[in-house]
Amino acid sequence: MVISMARLAAAGGALAAVPLTAMAGLLIDAGPVSTNQTFNTGNYVAGSEFTITAPMTIRSLGFLDAEGDGLALSHQVGLWSVSTQALLASGTVTPTSATVPSAHGIAKWFMVGVPDVLLAAGVYRVAGEVNGDLIALANDKIPGPGVTITAGYVRTDFPNGGFAYPNLTFGSEAVRATVSDQPVPAPGSLLALAGGVLALGVRRRRA
């Protein structure tokens, strides 16, 4: 079987055109017209409350780099049940963690994998340590399928609540942390896949 280079190039273009945000399965994202919001300094977490209408498995957590210029520090991110206030999953993103782009266009999400967590339909809060990265995005949110973002952002008692259940709700509509039903993407995984397709086509053509 001979695969033409033009067809391979088209396949590579199609792979490149797949939006990584969609592949990342983000339940909470910042939209294209989001604007910068500056958080106050302090030892606390900030994020969003969301509702899901059907069971869902969570495989990774994320912290937003609103300006797309990298994170200065590491950030612990947690997922809590609102009904029990129990911490269901947590992880730490670092400046070298894998990233996926935000629908915002400039911002990107730093992701950390967690053991699979099956969530029942209900209300949850995801929040990350502010910890020196003070810029978030506000006023344009994109929920994932079957998800409703039910509050702006929530945080522990300001300004020194530490890493704990986010117990205060604010109406600023800020985006700071997210959860995903997909595992953390391997760096360059799409490029490697495209390269593999091209290599396979070349081998078949020579045969």
Q: Tell me the pLDDT band of 172, cut-offs 50, 70 and 90.
A: low
What is d(CA 48, CA 96) in angstroms, rounded to the nearest whole number? 24
What is d(CA 155, CA 146) in angstroms, rounded to the nearest whole number? 24
Mean pLDDT across the chain: 83
pLDDT in tens, 49-108: 999 999 999 999 999 999 999 999 999 999 999 999 999 999 999 999 999 999 999 999
- Asked if residue 115 has pLDDT above 60, the reply is yes
Residue 168, C-beta contacts closer than 8 angstroms, at least 6 positions apart = 154, 155, 156, 157, 158
Specify whether domain 26-183 bears CATH 2.60.120: yes
Q: How far is CA 141 from its chain centroid?
A: 13
Name the more confident of 170 and 148.
148
What is d(CA 87, CA 179) in angstroms, rounded to the nearest whole number? 14
> What integer pLDDT is reported at residue 170 of this predicted model?
79
Residue 85 CA: distances (Å) to CA of 81, 88, 89, 101, 180: 5, 9, 12, 30, 20
- Asked if residue 180 has pLDDT above 90, the reply is yes
Domain positions in the chain are 26-183
Q: What percent of the chain has pLDDT over 90?
A: 70
Q: What percent of the chain has pLDDT over 70?
A: 78
- Asked if residue 112 has pLDDT above 60, the reply is yes
